[in-house]
Structure 1
Amino acid sequence: MLLLLSDFFSCSYFEALCRGKSPPVREQSGQVGLCNWAELTPELLKTLHSRVAGRLIIHVDELAQMWKALNLPTDLFNSVMNVGHFMEEIEWLKFLVLACSALGVTITKTLKIVCEVLSCNHGPPQIPFSTFQFLYTYIAEVDGEISASHVSRMLSYIEQEIIGPNGIITVNDFTQNPRVRLE
């Protein structure tokens, strides 16, 4: 896919964040700044998630309108679209985890943020293990630096040693356990 020059920087920036590396810095060139855009936060992602209203698939135009209504940066939206290779129909959870990676920098931090966004309770953030498994597998695949065998070993360990009969994973299960190394 060909990228416009303005999209190239966004894509490079987002990919660096996704891989846990220092992002490139854009030089000041007299272009209009992003000062009138809202900064992406977990709270805004939670609002966006609530507006998606439980759908697994969302149309790109509808999601773009929701993103714009929250006054979020268009270049970040385009970067997520490019990195995820999304077209007209977007798998919402894949888009969400990539958007969270712009905040999380590392895979562990990204998954922590996405758990916070998806969690419906008022206690410690938690989600179904099956959702965690899907998100971790996807973000590791996009990252490209974590082997599929490592992902499989971690998921197997978590499922066998940590997850109880309720099938729920909490943030502490993968952030506080020294035997769980997602990166």
Structure 2
Amino acid sequence: MLCTNKQKCILPKLREVLIQYTKAAIQTQPPDLLQWSADYFTAVALGDIPPVKQEQERGPWSKWKDLTPEVLKKLHQRVGGRLIISADELAHLWKSVKLPKDLFASIINVGCFTEEIEWLKFLALACRPIGVIIAETLKIICEVLSGDHNDGPPRIPFSTFQFLYTYIAEKDGEISASHVSRMLNYIEQEIIGPDGLIKVSDFTQNPQVRLE
């Protein structure tokens, strides 16, 4: 089907609306996503301020006090290294670590996940309300994925970091693809060694690395 000029004008605006909505949902983490969404779009349509909680209002742990890096690490261990997991099985594992059902539903909706879930993407969105800023979110993900190292700090393959940073930045909606590309190129060329691994300090303590 051919696209009209009118469609070409509307679609970019729709994309921007959805980006802002997704970012607001991740930032606010509403317990009732459907009701919050209705309130959000009503406010946008009327030109009012949407019901979005600022990060400083939420605090790093927000109302999701049950969601901690330790619990997510336990959940990751139960996923057992799989890249894809069914929504039903993940819901069962989520329940087994005693995490709120409404939080699971919120992450599913924000990530637009269906019956088959990419585990790393789900994990990234689960870590987002804990980390608040992207560097902190990636630090938590790195700690969850790396397991326990007796011979050094937590570290993950750079390819995994690249995938997760790109995904989180895309969901955030305010970080340009060109900025993400520059940061990844710098890290790969100037920081990553022959082992292909990245440490938390590589992206949290290097002044040249600004992920946001």
Task: Give the TM bin, normalised by the shorter chain.
Answer: 0.7 to 0.9
Pairing 1:120-131 to 2, within 5 Å after superposition: 120=147, 121-122=149-150, 123-131=152-160
1:75 Cα offset (Å): 1.4
Give 2:128's aligned residue.
101
1:136 to 161, 165, 172: 165
1:10–1:79 Cα contact (<8 Å) kept: no
Moved more, 169-178 or 38-47: 38-47
1:38/1:173 CA distance change after superposition, 3 Å = closer
1:10–1:75 Cα contact (<8 Å) kept: no
1:84 maps to amino acid: G
1:133/1:179 CA distance change after superposition, 3 Å = same
| C-alpha distance in structure 2 between counterparts of 1:158 and 1:20, whole Å | 27
1:21 Cα offset (Å): 6.4
TM-score, normalization: structure 1? 0.83
1:106/1:9 CA distance change after superposition, 3 Å = farther
| C-alpha distance in structure 2 between counterparts of 1:148 and 1:22, whole Å | 28
1:8 Cα offset (Å): 3.4
1:104/1:56 CA distance change after superposition, 3 Å = same
| C-alpha distance in structure 2 between counterparts of 1:40 and 1:177, whole Å | 28
Number of residue pairs matched by the alignment: 166
1:79 Cα offset (Å): 1.1
1:54 to 81, 97, 100: 81
1:6 Cα offset (Å): 2.4
| C-alpha distance in structure 2 between counterparts of 1:40 and 1:10, whole Å | 21
Superposed CA deviations along residues 107-156 of structure 1, whole A, max 9, x for unmatched, are 11000000000013233110000000000000000111100000000000
| C-alpha distance in structure 2 between counterparts of 1:142 and 1:39, whole Å | 23
What is the SS of the residue equivalent to 1:58? strand
1:38–1:73 Cα contact (<8 Å) kept: no
What is the SS of the residue equivalent to 1:127? strand
Q: 2:203 aligned with 1:174, yes or no?
A: yes
Q: 2:34 aligned with 1:8, yes or no?
A: yes
1:38/1:107 CA distance change after superposition, 3 Å = closer
**Alignment RMSD (CA, Å):** 2.7
1:22 Cα offset (Å): 4.1
What is the SS of the residue equivalent to 1:66? helix
1:140/1:78 CA distance change after superposition, 3 Å = same
| C-alpha distance in structure 2 between counterparts of 1:74 and 1:21, whole Å | 25
1:45 maps to amino acid: L
Runs of 5+ in structure 2 lacking a partner?
1-30, 41-51
1:38–1:70 Cα contact (<8 Å) kept: no
1:38/1:66 CA distance change after superposition, 3 Å = farther
1:92 Cα offset (Å): 0.3
1:21–1:105 Cα contact (<8 Å) kept: no
1:73 Cα offset (Å): 1.1
Greater percentage in helix: 2
2:114 to 80, 87, 98: 87
Q: 2:143 aligned with 1:116, yes or no?
A: yes
| C-alpha distance in structure 1 between counterparts of 2:123 and 2:160, whole Å | 12
1:136 maps to amino acid: Y
TM-score, normalization: structure 2? 0.72
